[in-house]
Amino acid sequence: MQNRRADDEARRLFWAEQMDAAFLFMQKVALLPVNECGEPMASLAEAARNADVEVLFSERPAPAGSKRLFYLRKGLIAPFLDIARDMNRRGWLLKVEDAYRTVETQKRLAVQEYVFDVILTRMLWELKGRPPTVQEMLRRVSALVATCPKVGTHMSGSALDISVLRRDGGAEVDRGAPYLEMSELTPMNSPFPSREARENRKEISALMARHGFVAYPYEFWHYSSGDAYADHLSGSSEPAGYGAVHMELPEGSTRAVPNPTQPLHTDEEIRCQIERSLSRLKRKA
């Protein structure tokens, strides 16, 4: 019993430290310069089909009123295909869980019932039963679901959320938990997954890095290239070329999001979501 309590405390401390670090990372990224290049988007599914490369795409429902847009900037299509080919040669299948998100989809995702309830449940665990304040909740939501366009690289069309499956049989390559885990297992360097899962994370990240996609340290599924995340993590001193954009279909043209540092949610919206989520969790208990 004592060992179990000590393990729970270690997990709680790690979660809190990592989520605080992720929030500070977001604050740094918000201050970094971005020179939006205006590059258009291209369809990942179409690119994979034309190149005859085996890639899977998530069928997970998008937040209500949204749809998944499996698009990236055109300059990232060749590296994306090279990643998929490398995985195929390795005996793996790249599964794209998410790519470009509109600003509206990003806003809805942060307050989606499932996502918000999971984060609030983790906060109740972290705070040993005390409901979080609005600012405490915002810090955690911001760490896991970017709450302003400037720091949300999915809105830049430069980020991928991925899973990896085995070509032989289709079993998921163990990374400690499936997408979309939100717990002390979520940070890339979490010590709590098995040794095999930690090694798989390293191998996948190394493969992604060979093609210019940098791992986000606080989610084991998120990789990006050419944006402020990637530039900051790789030590670049140059402004990023990919910033938050609106995309026009079918041509894939882009235009910069105005006021990209403006929060997507007000404090009052988060307060209301906390109340609704607590009510839902109480009914389920």
Q: How large is the C-alpha radius of gyration of the chain?
A: 19
Instruction: Tell whether the model's pLDDT for residue 98 goes beyond 70.
Output: yes
Burial (0-12, 13-18, 19+ Cβ within 10 Å), 65: exposed
Task: Count the alpha carbons within 13 Å of 119 in the hemisphere toward its beta carbon.
Answer: 25
Predicted confidence (pLDDT) per residue in 120-167, tens digit: 999 999 999 999 999 999 999 999 999 999 999 999 999 999 999 999
Q: What is the pLDDT of residue 63?
A: 75
Q: Are 243 and 257 in contact (CB under 8 A)?
A: yes
Name the pLDDT band for 61 (thresholds 50, 70, 90).
confident
Q: What is the pLDDT of residue 271?
A: 96
Name the pLDDT band for 2 (thresholds 50, 70, 90).
low
Q: Are 95 and 56 in contact (CB under 8 A)?
A: yes
Decide if 74 is inside a domain. Answer: yes
Predicted confidence (pLDDT) per residue in 207-251, tens digit: 999 999 999 999 999 999 999 999 999 988 889 999 999 999 999
**What CATH number corresponds to the domain at position 215?**
3.30.1380.10
Q: Are 184 and 15 in contact (CB under 8 A)?
A: yes
Euclidean distance between CA atoms 187 and 231, whole angstroms: 19
Decide if 231 is inside a domain. Answer: yes
Q: What is the pLDDT of residue 196?
A: 98
Q: What is the pLDDT of residue 1?
A: 66
Provide, rounded to the nearest whole percent, the portion of the chain with pLDDT above 90: 91
Decide if 1 is inside a domain. Answer: no
Average pLDDT across the chain, whole number: 95
Q: Are 176 and 192 in contact (CB under 8 A)?
A: yes
Give strand pairing partners of 55.
94
Decide if 2 is inside a domain. Answer: no
Indicate the pTM of the whole model: 0.94
Decide if 6 is inside a domain. Answer: no
Question: Of all helices (H) and strands (E), which one includes residue 253?
Answer: strand 253-256
The number of folded domains in the chain is: 1
Decide if 29 is inside a domain. Answer: no
Average pLDDT of the residues in 45-58: 97
Euclidean distance between CA atoms 239 and 229, whole angstroms: 11
Structural domain harbouring 215? 11-23+36-284
Decide if 67 is inside a domain. Answer: yes
Decide if 76 is inside a domain. Answer: yes
